[in-house]
Structure 1
Amino acid sequence: MDLTAKQALSLALALHELATNATKYGALSVPGGTIDVRWDCTPLEDRRSLRFGWREQGGPPVSTPSRRGFGSRLIESTLSSDFGGSVKVDYLPEGVVCSFEAGLNDLTGQAE
């Protein structure tokens, strides 16, 4: 799948932010913690869709932050804006889950 330079940068920044937070506070901050990263291109009604998921497990218990920091805003706004899809970050007690979905037509139709 081809991404524009802006989409590739947006995805790289989001992954960096997720990995940094997992290392400082989440699943990667303790021995045995894991991260499951998955993506696929799936038919969805009359179009194909890119789905991406990040799931942390085995780390310290997670609670919803009292305020939205720069990293959370970066993940949600840049992925949503650059991929034209929906982004969701959930702070589940067992670990952070980040997912987004975008139509592949939206990806290939965007200019650099």
Structure 2
Amino acid sequence: MVNTPSTVPIASLQADNARLRRLLDQRNLSGEFRYRLRRTVALLRTIIRKSAASRRDVDSYMGLLEDRLDAIVRVQSMVDEQDAVEIQKLLTEELMHYRPLEGDRVKLFGPELALQPRMGQIFALAVHEMTVNAIEHGALGSDTGRLDIAWRVASGGAGSRLIFVWKEHDATALAPPSHQGFGTEVLTRTLISELCATTRLEFDPDGLRCTIEFALP
């Protein structure tokens, strides 16, 4: 088989995946580490597959894939340091990765709150997709757009729940997408299956509003 530009990156990813599987089979790994690594590998495989489905050419596919994997690496570094994911730190690092937080364009409101590693990893992927979407199509892509991010913990009979609201303000507001891309799938299906979350996407006249709610341990 002759290697084409499209088969070389895929072959490299498959080789990396095989090495990860061999690592998982090592007997000296603790049960907890083995479990976490398997969950992370499963998430990476989903990202690789879904990113390929959303782009036709290799260059744009690899760009999207590297961007999403970088987001996972950033949150994994946070987990390695403190075995948890602080929401404010996650938001700040993700937004600062793409552009400085200038003046009052981006506001964060919420208490100090740390998520468990797996929960934080999935939530970080959702934050990444919303950030990139806001830069490419929403409030952070214009000179006048603003972004308000607020979160709080609500207590009730069923326990504590995180209520997270991402609200964009921009005169050139987004229209509802004509098809469901990877970002929308993360915000709906992935958050539902992994965190039993409820997600509400509203395309207000002045910009996107995304509300995410899920139970905290």
TM-score bucket of the superposed structures, by smaller chain: 0.7 to 0.9
What is the aligned counterpart of 1:92 among 180, 183, 204?
Answer: 204
Gaps of 5+ in 2: 1-112
Residue 64 of structure 1, CA deviation: 0.8
Say if 1:61 and 1:95, in contact at 8 Å, map to a contact too: yes
- Which has the larger share of strand? 1
The CA distance in 1 between the partners of 2:151 and 2:120, in whole Å, is 14
Gaps of 5+ in 1: none
Say if 2:134 and 2:141, in contact at 8 Å, map to a contact too: yes
The one-letter code of the counterpart of 2:120 is: A
The CA distance in 1 between the partners of 2:196 and 2:116, in whole Å, is 13
Find the counterpart in structure 2 of residue 69 from structure 1. Answer: 181
- Which has the larger share of helix? 2
Say if 2:139 and 2:173, in contact at 8 Å, map to a contact too: no
Over aligned residue pairs, what C-alpha RMSD do you find? 1.7
> Aligned pairs, how many?
105
Deviates more, 1:8-17 or 1:56-65: 56-65
Say if 1:62 and 1:91, in contact at 8 Å, map to a contact too: yes
Larger CA Rg, structure 1 vs 2: 2
Normalised by the length of structure 2, the TM-score is 0.45
The CA distance in 2 between the partners of 1:44 and 1:89, in whole Å, is 24
What percentage of residue pairs aligned between the two structures are identical?
30
The one-letter code of the counterpart of 1:77 is: R
Is 1:103 aligned to residue 215 of structure 2?
Answer: yes
Residue aligned with 1:20, SS: helix
Say if 2:173 and 2:208, in contact at 8 Å, map to a contact too: no
